[in-house]
Amino acid sequence: MAAGYLEILRARHAARLLTGTLVGRLPNATAAIALVLFVRAEGGTYSLAGALAAVYGVANAVGQPVLGRLVDLYGQPRVQLPAAVLSALAMTAFAFSGTDPLPLAYAAVAAAGLFTPPLEGGLRALWPSVLRREEQVHTAYAMDAVAQEIMFTVGPLLVTLCVSLWSERAALLVLNAVGVLGALSVVLSPPSRAWRSAPREAHWLGALRSPGLLVLLGAFLFIGIALGSITVASVSYADAHGGDAVYGWLMAALGLGALAGGTVYGARQWSGTPERRLRVLVALLAVCYLPLMLMPGAVAMVLLTAVSGVFLAPCIACAFIIVDRHAPSGTVTEAFSWLVTTFTVGASVGTGLAGPVVQGGGALWGFALPGAAGAVSLLVLLGTGRVLAAPAWGGVVAASSENDPNRAVEPRFSSGDRA
């Protein structure tokens, strides 16, 4: 199972790019918990902490596709590193100014979210130029999805470690400084410096002019809603079954299930088109959410939560392949960034929906939301099968320039069956 992953990591620059991207994304992955802890340490309320975290999330959702388009236009180093520095400086300003004056706090947090570099989309744009073979790139997408689960598990632990060793302010400063170093490692690598987006047609919609991409974004909006609603429903469940410790185990189980599913998924090659496979994966994801409504004892609930996460990472990895097939030429980084943004927005919407649902009907109805959202996601994919079946920009191979072998461009693989 590990042979495919090891083959990728042994490829030149692959381990550096993956590690640098994960380290560079730590400030984003830990922003919510770091902001909450810092605001509470400053004497602020949970409402203020939540509002600041929400501002960061909204600004991040706006900034990712915008910065992704700039990367496609001007290259990675010119955008990624300045954005990382600006984001870190804004969070540093917030760390030293605190919550007073409040307008400055909101402005600093918004700037930090807005300038978060699109390292996630950038890495996926780099994989084809680093690995070359299509089946390796698809395995790398799965490995990327698995690595995300590790990062979102380790990240909060790093925040608490920094807080215990130093302070909440130090946690903000250290993690953002480390994030800049991660971005620096990526943009100084030869693949990042050499990468150029394929020629693009000038269009104000950019990647969003692809009907297939719009369908995929619609489906993943509801997958994000499912994930966001689970986090809220789990709080209500944990309150009646052991408190914060049970909640922590539920969230860890969700990540562990996704980690296991993504590892198995990426370890083999799959027949059939990725669009058809995504429909099957989303159906399985929706079905696995339904047993959560049983709400058994804590141990059994942890196991059910792990099962509910098994197909999440495979869905994400499969979506990466579809994004690459449907993104208009010259917009691949922007397209990947839109997927990240849509998923994030969906999770926020799910959190907002689950709150009043749980308040009015309890955890049972909160756990009904993920299954319902997963079913809607499947209906979107089933109802638009013809759109997804015909990639308008897929099948174009843009290899490295023959006249300049050191110049990497955005390769586009053929739309064959292997994924």
Q: Dump pLDDT digits (tens) for 271-289.
A: 889 999 999 999 999 999 9
Map residue 237 onto helix, strand or coil. helix
CB atoms within 10 A of CB 394: 17
Query: In the chain, pLDDT over 90 holds for what percent of residues?
Result: 53
Give 204-419's CATH code, choosing from 3.30.930.10, 1.20.1250.20, 3.40.50.2300, 3.40.630.30. 1.20.1250.20
pLDDT band at 392 (very low <50, low <70, confident <90, very high): low
Least confident of 44-48, 150-154, 275-279, 410-414: 410-414
The CATH number fitting domain 1-195, selected from 1.20.1250.20, 3.40.50.920, 2.60.120.10, 3.40.190.100: 1.20.1250.20
229-238, 273-282, 297-306: segment of lowest average pLDDT: 229-238
Least confident of 304-318, 332-346, 397-411: 397-411
**At 175, is the pLDDT very low, low, confident or very high (cuts 50, 70, 90)?**
very high
CA distance 203 to 330: 11
CA 247, CA 168: separation in Å to the nearest integer? 22
pLDDT digits (tens, 9 = 90+) for 6-21: 889 999 999 999 999 9
- Proportion of the chain above pLDDT 70, given as a percent: 92
Q: Where in the chain is the domain with CATH 1.20.1250.20?
A: 1-195, 204-419
Q: Which amino acid would we find at residue 180?
A: V
Is residue 61 within 8 A of residue 345, CB to CB? The reply is yes
Q: What is the pLDDT of residues 103-152, one digit of tens each?
A: 999 999 999 999 999 999 999 999 998 997 888 898 899 888 888 878 87
Instruction: Report the distance separating Cα 83 and Cα 141, nearest Å.
Output: 24
Asked whether residue 411 carries a pLDDT value surpassing 60, the answer given is no
With a cut of 60, say whether residue 399 has pLDDT above it. Answer: no
Mean pLDDT within 390-414: 46
Contact 346, 220 (CB under 8 A): yes
pLDDT attached to residue 202: 67
Nearest-angstrom CA–CA distance, 408 and 13: 13
Q: How far is Cα 62 from Cα 68, in angstroms, rounded to an integer?
A: 11
Q: Give the type of residue at 106.
A: Y
Question: What's the CA gap between 43 and 40, in Å, rounded?
Answer: 5
The one-letter code for the residue type at 219 is A
- pLDDT greater at residue 397 or residue 132: 132
Q: How confident is residue 414, by pLDDT bands cut at 50, 70 and 90?
A: very low
Rounded to 5 degrees, what angle do the CA atoms 403, 409, 413 make? 110
- The answer to whether the beta carbons of residues 365 and 354 sit under 8 Å apart is no
Mean pLDDT of the region 360-389: 93
Global pTM reads 0.81
